[in-house]
Amino acid sequence: MKALCLTATERFEFIELPEAAAPAVGEALVAIHAIGICGTDISGYLGKMPFIECPRILGHELGVEVLAVGEGVTNVKPGDRCSVEPYLNCGSCHSCRQGKTNCCESLQVLGVHCDGAMRERMILPAHKLHAGNALSFEQLALVETLAIGCHAVNRAAIQPGDDVLIIGAGPIGLTVLEFARLTGAAITVLELNETRRAFVQQHYAGVKVVESLPDEPCAQVVFDATGHPGSMAGTLRLARFTGRIIYVGITKEPVPLDDPLFHRRELTLLASRNAVASDFPRILGLIEGGQIDTRPWITHRCALADLPESMPGWVKPGSGVVKAVVSLEQD
């Protein structure tokens, strides 16, 4: 079967793969129907993602259909539509024993550390599938990206009376916004891009959207979803005394820390990586119940065959892409 492989920076090539085998014990064979393109994919495509090495088959935000299951699989059955938890953890390291499977010491994320789903079919551990038969494949493909924001907001432990600043209104910043608003906190979004500011203003009533802020304390909880080292360093100046800062974006570059300011305000600095299994059924329920509407997010679409031509335009700053989804036709 055909797969699309990132063979070098900004270069895709179609390759041939052996047909997926029959699923073994605990496994499922799935057909890939929809793939969300996220910041990790874009950074990998541009050669800026520290965990992606070429050649690599990208694709980890997935809407899939179960074709067959191996012995012992009870959580899904053939015909189920599923989202995929793409974090392949060992189950035995210190992090896994603590239930922190998102930061397994030997974690393999599909499409990042190992080959992903830009292919017709693949074998996956069945326990990484989360059925959502009431949802479309496109909706299911957005569950994983929403899980990033869900986990980050859980890390922040927002309390009554906390005000929240989200820096960056790209797809990851929007996922943080989705879950921060469920806490009832007062939220400000800082975004330089006019199109993204307009998107937040249109779809998130009650959220304050700004292009700039004074370089002074303005929020108890500050999320940085930019992955820009200068922005990440600047969060210390924006957090109130005793505030909490959560880095959701990631950068290859060192992030300078103003230690006297960090100590004087007794700030808490947290990283947020991936998500955990319990986030997925929660998100499926929120979409099914109408509390999260993914429809406005998807601004661009293409078939897998057209991605090599579409991707260069999607990564341009003025592209207007909020979320792009790739579809695979299945016979």
In terms of pLDDT, which residue wins out, 151 or 43? 151
Confidence of residue 324 (pLDDT cuts 50, 70, 90): very high
Q: Domain check: are 116 and 86 in the same one?
A: yes
Confidence of residue 263 (pLDDT cuts 50, 70, 90): very high
Overall number of domains in the chain: 2
Q: Domain check: are 8 and 88 in the same one?
A: yes
Helices (H), the chain: 39-45, 94-97, 137-141, 143-156, 171-181, 194-203, 229-238, 259-264, 279-288, 307-314
Q: Domain check: are 20 and 136 in the same one?
A: yes
Written as one string, the DSSP assignment of 87-122 is EE--SSSHHHHTT-GGG-TT-EEBTTTB--S-BSEE
Instruction: Assign residue 221 the CATH number of its domain.
Output: 3.40.50.720
Q: Domain check: are 129 and 154 in the same one?
A: no
Q: Residue 21: what pLDDT?
A: 86
The answer to whether position 282 is within a domain reads no
Q: Domain check: are 130 and 70 in the same one?
A: yes
| CB distance 294 to 287 below 8 Å | yes
Nearby residues of 193 by Cβ (< 8 Å), 6 or more positions away: 169, 317
In terms of pLDDT, which residue wins out, 236 or 252? 236
Nearby residues of 176 by Cβ (< 8 Å), 6 or more positions away: 148, 149, 152, 153, 166, 223, 225, 248
Q: Residue 74: what pLDDT?
A: 97
> Is it the case that residue 157 has pLDDT exceeding 90?
yes
The answer to whether position 287 is within a domain reads no
Q: Domain check: are 126 and 156 in the same one?
A: no
pLDDT, the chain, mean: 95
Q: Domain check: are 112 and 196 in the same one?
A: no
User: Rounded CA gap, 78 and 97, in Å?
Assistant: 31
The answer to whether position 286 is within a domain reads no
Q: Residue 319: what pLDDT?
A: 86
The DSSP letter of residue 231 is H
Q: Domain range holding 62?
A: 2-142+294-327
> Is it the case that residue 331 has pLDDT exceeding 60?
no
Q: Residue 113: what pLDDT?
A: 94
The pTM for the full model equals 0.93
Q: Residue 330: what pLDDT?
A: 60
User: Rounded CA gap, 114 and 106, in Å?
Assistant: 12
H/E stretch holding 5: strand 2-8
Q: Domain check: are 153 and 257 in the same one?
A: yes
The answer to whether position 284 is within a domain reads no
The answer to whether position 288 is within a domain reads no
The mean per-residue pLDDT over the stretch 304-319 comes to: 92
Instruction: Assign residue 35 the CATH number of its domain.
Output: 3.90.180.10
The answer to whether position 276 is within a domain reads no
Q: Residue 51: what pLDDT?
A: 84
The answer to whether position 307 is within a domain reads yes
- How far does the chain reach from its first CA to its final CA, in angstroms? 12
Q: Domain check: are 82 and 109 in the same one?
A: yes
Q: Domain check: are 80 and 201 in the same one?
A: no
Q: Domain check: are 240 and 124 in the same one?
A: no
Q: Residue 250: what pLDDT?
A: 87
Give the tens place of pLDDT for each residue, 72-131. 999 999 999 999 999 999 999 999 999 999 999 999 999 999 999 999 999 999 999 999
Give the tens place of pLDDT for each residue, 40-56. 899 899 998 878 999 99
Task: Give the residue among 217, 230, 231, 270 at the shortest CA–CA distance from 247.
Answer: 270
Q: Domain check: are 314 and 266 in the same one?
A: no
Nearby residues of 277 by Cβ (< 8 Å), 6 or more positions away: 85, 101, 127
Nearby residues of 152 by Cβ (< 8 Å), 6 or more positions away: 175, 176, 179, 223, 246, 248, 272
Q: Residue 178: what pLDDT?
A: 96
Percentage of the chain exceeding pLDDT 70: 99
The answer to whether position 289 is within a domain reads no
> Is it the case that residue 66 has pLDDT exceeding 60?
yes
